Amino acid sequence: MFSLAPFCEEPKKKAVKKLGFLRSLAFAVCLIQNLSAEVTSLDRPSPAWLRDAVIYQVYPQSFCDTDGDGIGDLRGVIAKLDYIKSLGCTAIWLNPVFDSPFGDAGYDVRDYKKIAPRYGTNEDARRLFEAAHQRGLRVIFDLVAGHTSVQNPWFMESAKSESNVYSGFYLWVPPSEPGSVAHEGSRPENFIKNFFDFQPALYYGYAKPVASNPWERSPNDPQSLAVREAMRDVMKYWLDLGCDGFRVDMASSLIKGSDRDGGAALRELWSDYHGWLNRNYPEAVLISEWSNPAEAIPAGFDIDFLIHFNEPPYQHLLDPWIGKDTDPNPFFDRDGHGDIREFLDGYLKLYQATRQLGYIAMPTGNHDFSRPRFHGRDENDLKVIYTLLFTMPGVPFIYYGDEIGMRYFPDWPKKEGAMWRGGCRTPMQWDGSPGAGFSTAPVTNYYLPLDPDPHRPNVASQEGEPDSLLNFVRRLIALRHANPSLDNLGGFEPLYAEQNKFPFVYRRTGGPQDFIICVNPTGTAQTCEVKALRGAHPVLTNGATREGSKLTMPPVSYAVFDCSPELNLSASIHKSP
């Protein structure tokens, strides 16, 4: 294929002036060509299965309860593996299931190598890995690598004034240090926390330690390395039992003072773990909660989430609620005040910086912010949102219950440190019974109250409705799996993305068939001209039409067109769900 590669370098300062314009034009063409070209493999080792991965997030306490205590458990997850598989998912990620006092719903780990009794036993975890693998599903655990509970024996030893092997595991500072936290041990210093006051930060070292702060020590200090090895040992324990990788909590928090060295020490730390995984567990995945893929992926992660903090593209799409708006005018809003450029300009920068190295994940939701079924959105709005989320490059994640349109409740009980988050952690709605099929416990004993609406969405009723949100999600995922252009590395090229205008139209390329995806989230009909649509054939739409290159989209609509250069209708019919 014709290559513009030599023009891809940034124009040099001494470039002949009259070549400047041509060069920038070529650069722009090159950018578009690069974006639309499929990446066939990554420039560094990463598990091959990620290319087609779709991951389901299970919030374990709210998913399925088999022992009648009102809290979900691992046996419940096992019981629902076939359901997860039926969505087209290839892996699950579980929030922390380790022994914990549950001040922060399990993100305060007391014992990294023990399953919390409320979820079951280590043997249940082994059975979960086995049962998932039998079905071709992988299981990803949550690694709370940055901090522990104050009840963790590492911390309790470290908090003693007598020196011991754990003395250097945490960051101890003079009590006069701002933000430091007092404790009940005999040690005279205070500790530095990572999140809540009961979550002391593990101490992997400081970037460029400052001599005037005697507590600052290098990431290469033997004490820092001892912490690094302790966490590696935790990973090894679960990987050897059958676990397939980790989502890492607050992944950028491990090295303190990272701004001093431009993140070099943090990159060294994660590259060390990533290299070790590649050598010893090449199928294991490392996913970061960082929300800055341009930093996280080069640092060593296979996948980074774009979510409610740090880099803003996701916030411009959905306005994930975190007790306040993250963008009061998101793109996915019927009033049409959103602007796709706010999303796209930031997204393209991150995508361009990472697409040879790893994957961006834009989840439907998660346990820290509002579900997409909020801000007045109904199931029709969700279909438009999911059309985009399940046809973009990168790895799609479904937060449990989003596939049926479960609602978010901003004023829900603040259980286990939930703050605004209780409303996105409600029990899964499996059927239309009073307890929604989540548990045999009285509903008053449920971990959190159920959605009180008698018509709340549920899996059983949507199973039987061909046009339900649940079946729509299945169709989209099946289309993705059947067509390499739509997979996680397929090419991506915006075709119509105008400031403050609708719809948003883009092309996915690289496989035998190319696709054009169109979304109009607004409450009014929208039209636009897209040359590449000429001759395209709709494979999934709720009313969009094409005449020549003119696209007309009704209010709240989506469309996926097959726009293969040599349109092969029989292949399209064969492959579409």
Q: x/- string (CB under 6 A) for ligand NOJ, residues 89-118?
A: ---------------x--x-----------
Helix, strand or coil, per DSSP, at residue 223: helix
Helical residues (DSSP H) of 87-139, grouped into ranges? 122-134
Question: 295 or 333: whose CB is closer to ligand NOJ?
Answer: 295
What minimum distance in Å lies between the beta carbon of 199 and ligand NOJ? 6
Among residues 105 and 459, whose Cβ is nearest to ligand NOJ? 105
32 sits in which H/E element: helix 17-36
Q: What is the Cα 481 distance to its own chain's centre?
A: 19
Q: What are the tokens at 289?
A: 């909660």
Question: In terms of residues, how long is the chain?
Answer: 577
Interaction residues for ligand NOJ, span 167-196 (CB under 6 A) = 195
Identify which of residues 307 and 544 has a Cβ nearer to ligand NOJ in the complex.
307
Select 261 or 368, whichever has its Cβ closest to ligand NOJ.
368
- Enumerate helices (H) and strands (E) in the chain, giving the number of each: 14, 20
Q: Which segments within 408-549 are labelled E, that is strand?
A: 491-496, 504-509, 515-520, 526-529, 537-541, 545-547
250 forms part of the interface with ligand NOJ (CB under 6 A)? yes
Buried b / exposed e across 435-470, counting CB within 10 Å, b at 16+? Answer: bbbbbebeeeebbbbbbeeeebbbbebbeeeeebbb
Binding-residue pattern over the window 270 to 289 for ligand NOJ, x denoting contact by CB under 6 A? -------------------x
Give the long-range contacts of residues 329-335, CB within 8 A, separation 24 or more. 330/375, 331/504, 331/521, 332/372, 332/377, 332/381, 332/384, 332/385, 332/521, 333/375, 333/521, 333/522, 334/376, 334/381, 334/521, 334/522, 334/523, 334/555, 334/556, 335/522, 335/523
Whichever of 426 and 557 has its CB closer to ligand NOJ, that residue is 426
Least gap, CB of 325 to ligand NOJ (angstroms): 20
**Residue 285 CB, nearest distance to ligand NOJ (Å)?**
17
- Asked if 368 touches ligand NOJ (CB under 6 A), the answer is yes
* Total binding residues toward ligand NOJ, as defined by CB under 6 A: 9
Task: Give the one residue of 249, 339, 381, 403 binding ligand NOJ; rule: CB under 6 A.
Answer: 249
SS3 state of residue 284 = coil
Q: Which of residues 128-147 bind ligand NOJ (CB under 6 A)?
A: 144
The smaller minimum CB distance to ligand NOJ, of residues 201 and 495, is found at: 201
Which C-beta is closer to ligand NOJ: that of 73 or that of 249?
A: 249
Nearest distance from residue 95's CB to ligand NOJ, in Å? Answer: 7
Q: Supply the minimum distance, in Å, between the C-beta of residue 63 and ligand NOJ.
A: 16
| Cβ 194 to ligand NOJ shortest distance, Å | 7
CB atoms within 10 A of CB 197: 12
Q: State the binding string over 450-479 for ligand NOJ (x if CB under 6 A, else -).
A: ------------------------------
Alpha-carbon separation of residue 31 from 306, 309, 354, 513 (angstroms): 22, 27, 14, 22
Q: Is 309 in the site for ligand NOJ (CB under 6 A)?
A: no
Q: How far is the CB of 414 from ligand NOJ (least distance, A)?
A: 12
Residues 4-23, one symbol each (x = binds ligand NOJ by CB under 6 A, - = not), give --------------------
DSSP label at 445? G
In the complex, what is the shortest distance from the CB of residue 142 to ligand NOJ, in angstroms, rounded to a whole number?
A: 8
Residue 452: DSSP 8-state: -
Cα-based angle 559, 561, 565 (whole degrees, multiple of 5): 160
Min dist. Cβ of residue 55 to ligand NOJ (A): 15
Question: Which position has the token pair 């603040």?
Answer: 414
Helices (H), 373-450: 379-389
State the minimum distance, in angstroms, from the CB of residue 195 to ligand NOJ: 4
CB nearer to ligand NOJ: pick between 189 and 249: 249
> Which residue number, 289 or 295, has a Cβ lying nearer to ligand NOJ?
289
User: Is there binding between residue 420 and ligand NOJ (CB under 6 A)?
Assistant: no
The half-sphere exposure of 146 on its side-chain side, counting CA atoms within 13 A, is 23
Q: Identify which of residues 305 and 506 has a Cβ nearer to ligand NOJ in the complex.
A: 305
In the complex with ligand NOJ, the residue whose CB is nearer, 50 or 251, is 251
Q: Which two tokens stand for residue 535?
A: 């001759």
CB 448 within 8 A of CB 426: yes
Residue nearest to ligand NOJ (CB): 107
CB of 250 to ligand NOJ, least distance (A): 5
Residues 6+ apart with CB under 8 A from 425: 59, 61, 62, 105, 367, 412, 415, 418, 447, 448
* Interactions with ligand NOJ, residue window 388-407 (CB under 6 A): none
Residue 381 as a binder of ligand NOJ (CB under 6 A): the answer is: no
- Distance in Å, CB of 288 to ligand NOJ, minimum: 11
Q: Quick one: how far is CA 355 from the chain centroid? A: 16
CB of 156 to ligand NOJ, least distance (A): 19
Q: Between residues 256 and 575, which has the closer beta carbon with respect to ligand NOJ?
A: 256
Q: How far is Cα 577 from Cα 570, in angstroms, rounded to an integer?
A: 13
**Do 304 and 361 contact (CB within 8 A), yes or no?**
yes
Closer CB to ligand NOJ, residue 418 or residue 459? 418
Residues that bind ligand NOJ (CB under 6 A): 104, 107, 144, 195, 249-250, 289, 367-368
